[in-house]
C-alpha cells in the first residue's frame, strides 16, 4: 500500500483568539490533482503555509510526503515545488538564465536537467528570449519550469492561470495532467471556477473549516439540491425581489441579462405566473446546468 502524499488530521491554527484553520481533515493520493477554494480569509493560505512547514500548527498533525510538518519542514521544502502568481521572474534575464538561476538556488547545476525542464514546459527553442518580451501564458510556463527544476514530487500552484485566456489555460493544464500522470501530486488554490473545473477533486473552505472535498461532479450533485433555472425577465431587479421572496427558492443571482434561480420545489410555471401577475415581462425560463460557482456560492454564504 502506497502512503498518501498528504495526510491532515485535525489540523488547527490559531492567531490569538482567531481560529484561522479549524480541525480540518483530508488525504491526497499520489498523482492526484486537487483544487482548494475559499473566499479571502477562509484559511486556504494558512493551510498551505502549514503544509509547507512555514507555519507551525497550533493543534493536530499533518504529514507531507511522509514527513512531519512540525519536525521535518526542511525535508518537505526540498521536495515540493511552489508556483505563485506573484512569483518573481527576472525580466532582464532570458528563459534559460532564469531557470539556471533558480536551479542554482535549489543546488541544481546539472545542465541536462535544466534542458529537460525547458522541454517539459514547452519552452525549448525560446532559451534566449528575454522574459519581458513574453506573453502572460509563456511567463506562466516559465514559472512552472522554475517550480519543477528540482523535480518535486508535490507541486503547489497558486492561481496558476490567473489572467490567461482559455487556450493558454488549456495548454497549461495539459502539462499539469502530464505531470500528474508521471506521479507528481498537484494542489491548486484558486478563485476561478474555470480553473477549479480542471481539478479531479475540489475542497471548499470557509471560516477555517473544510466544508466539502469531492469531485466537481459529486459536489454539484450533493450541494445543489434541486434545479437551476435561467429566468429571462424584465426588469431584472424586480425579478430578483419577487423570486427571492418566493417560498421554496434557495438562491437568486443576477447573471447579465437573466437570473439564475436554484430551487428544489419551485417549477417553471409557478415562477412564470408569479412574475406575470406582478406585471413583469417573462421572455423565457430555461433549465440550466449547475456550475462549481453555484456550489461555491451555496457553501460560502
- The rounded distance, in Å, linking the Cα atoms of 268 and 262 is 11
C-beta of 119: minimal distance to another protein in Å? Answer: 20
Among residues 20 and 164, whose Cβ is nearest to another protein? 164
Among residues 168 and 270, whose Cβ is nearest to another protein? 168
C-beta of 182: minimal distance to another protein in Å? Answer: 11
CA within 13 Å, CB half, 221? 5
Beta-strand pair 33-37/185-189: parallel
C-beta of 293: minimal distance to another protein in Å? Answer: 6
- The rounded distance, in Å, linking the Cα atoms of 295 and 4 is 27
Nearest-10 Cα torsion for 198, 199, 204, 205: -110
Among residues 31 and 66, whose Cβ is nearest to another protein? 31
Cβ atoms of 203 and 213 within 8 Å: the answer is yes
**Residue 222 — φ and ψ, nearest 5°?**
-85, -30
C-beta of 37: minimal distance to another protein in Å? Answer: 8
Q: Please say whether the dihedral angle defined by the alpha carbons of residues 88, 92, 96 and 102, taken in this order, is positive or negative.
A: negative
Q: Is the previous residue joined to 235 through a cis bond, with omega within 30 degrees of 0? A: yes
Cβ atoms of 101 and 90 within 8 Å: the answer is yes
- The rounded distance, in Å, linking the Cα atoms of 220 and 233 is 26
Among residues 9 and 91, whose Cβ is nearest to another protein? 91
C-beta of 105: minimal distance to another protein in Å? Answer: 26
107 DSSP assignment = T
Among residues 236 and 282, whose Cβ is nearest to another protein? 236
C-beta of 28: minimal distance to another protein in Å? Answer: 14
* b/e sequence 258-271, b meaning 16+ C-beta within 10 Å: bbbbbbeebeeeeb
Among residues 3 and 165, whose Cβ is nearest to another protein? 165
**Residue 278 — φ and ψ, nearest 5°?**
-80, 0
C-beta of 264: minimal distance to another protein in Å? Answer: 21
Which residues of the chain form contacts with another protein (CB under 8 A)? 33, 37-41, 85, 135-137, 159, 162-168, 170, 173-174, 177, 181, 191-194, 197-202, 215-217, 235-237, 253-257, 289, 291, 293, 296-297, 300-301
The three grid cell numbers given for residue 61, joined into one nine-digit string: 498533525
Among residues 71 and 287, whose Cβ is nearest to another protein? 287
Among residues 191 and 209, whose Cβ is nearest to another protein? 191
C-beta of 110: minimal distance to another protein in Å? Answer: 29
Q: List Cβ neighbours of 199 (8 Å cut-off, separation of 6 or more).
A: 33, 34, 35, 188, 216
Number of H helices, E strands in the chain: 11, 14
Amino acid at each position: 500500500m502506497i502512503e498518501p502524499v498528504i495526510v491532515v488530521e485535525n489540523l488547527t491554527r490559531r492567531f490569538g483568539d482567531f481560529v484561522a484553520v479549524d480541525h480540518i481533515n483530508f488525504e491526497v493520493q499520489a498523482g492526484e490533482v486537487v483544487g482548494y477554494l475559499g473566499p479571502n480569509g477562509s484559511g486556504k493560505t494558512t493551510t498551505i503555509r502549514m503544509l509547507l512547514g512555514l507555519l507551525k500548527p497550533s493543534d493536530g498533525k499533518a504529514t507531507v510526503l511522509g514527513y512531519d510538518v512540525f519536525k521535518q519542514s526542511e525535508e518537505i521544502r526540498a521536495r515540493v515545488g511552489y508556483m505563485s502568481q506573484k512569483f518573481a521572474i527576472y525580466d532582464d534575464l532570458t528563459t534559460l538564465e532564469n531557470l539556471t538561476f533558480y536551479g542554482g538556488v535549489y543546488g541544481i547545476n546539472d545542465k541536462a536537467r535544466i534542458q529537460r525542464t525547458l522541454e517539459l514546459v514547452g519552452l525549448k527553442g525560446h532559451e534566449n528570449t528575454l522574459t519581458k518580451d513574453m506573453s502572460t501564458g509563456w511567463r506562466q510556463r516559465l514559472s512552472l519550469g522554475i517550480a519543477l527544476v528540482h523535480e518535486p514530487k508535490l507541486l503547489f500552484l497558486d492561481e496558476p492561470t490567473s489572467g490567461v485566456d482559455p487556450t493558454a489555460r488549456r495548454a497549461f493544464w495539459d502539462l499539469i495532467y502530464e505531470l500528474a500522470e508521471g506521479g507528481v501530486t498537484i494542489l491548486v488554490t484558486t478563485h476561478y471556477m474555470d480553473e477549479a473545473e480542471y481539478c479531479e477533486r475540489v475542497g471548499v473552505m470557509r471560516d477555517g473549516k473544510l466544508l466539502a472535498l469531492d469531485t466537481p461532479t459529486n459536489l454539484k450533485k450533493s450541494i445543489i439540491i434541486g434545479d437551476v433555472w435561467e429566468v429571462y425577465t424584465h426588469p431584472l431587479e424586480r425579478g430578483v425581489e419577487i423570486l427571492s421572496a418566493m417560498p421554496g427558492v434557495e438562491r437568486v443571482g443576477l447573471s447579465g441579462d437573466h437570473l439564475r434561480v436554484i430551487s428544489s420545489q419551485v417549477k417553471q410555471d409557478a415562477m412564470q405566473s408569479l412574475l406575470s401577475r406582478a406585471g413583469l415581462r417573462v421572455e423565457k425560463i430555461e433549465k440550466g446546468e449547475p456550475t462549481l460557482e453555484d456550489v461555491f456560492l451555496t457553501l460560502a454564504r
